[in-house]
A = this chain, B = another copy of it.
Amino acid sequence: MQKILNKRKIINDPIYGFITIPDELIYDLINHPYFQRLRRIKQLGMTNLVYPGALHTRFHHAIGAMWLMVEAIKVLQSKGVEISKEEEQGAIIAILLHDIGHGPFSHALEHTIVHGISHEDISEMLMNKLNKEFDGKLSLAIKIFNDKYPKKFLHQLVSSQLDMDRLDYLKRDSFYTGVSEGVISSDRIIKMLNVLNNQLIIEEKGIYSIEKFIIARRLMYWQVYLHKTVLSAENMLVKILQRAKELASEKKELFCSPALSKFLYNRYGKKDFDKNPEVLELFAKLDDYDIFGAIKVWADNEDEILSYLCRCLIDRNLYKIEIQNEEFKESYVKAKKKEIATKYKIKKEDLDYFVFSSSVANEIYNVDKIGITILFKNGKTKDISKSSDQLNVEVLNKTVKKWFICYPR
Contacts and interface: CB of A to CB of B under 8 A. Distances in A.
A33 B315 contact: yes
A17 interface: yes
How many of chain A's residues touch chain B, expressed as a range? 35 or more
B296 A290 contact: yes
Nearest to A203: B2
Contact of A391 (B49, B316, B392): B392
A48 interface: yes
Interface string A382-393: 000000011110
A33 B314 contact: yes
A150 interface: no
Most chain B CB within a 10 A radius of its CB, from A18, A51, A52, A292: A52
Number of copies: 4
Contact of A52 (B60, B222, B300): B60
Nearest to A42: B55
A179 interface: yes
Given A212-B216, A215-B211, A178 B12 contact: yes
Nearest to A17: B187
Nearest to A293: B293
Interface in A211-226: 211-212, 215-216, 218-219, 222-223
A56 B59 contact: no
A81 interface: yes
11 contacts: A2-B79, A13-B52, A14-B178, A39-B49, A40-B292, A211-B218, A212-B216, A257-B297, A258-B300, A389-B392, A390-B396
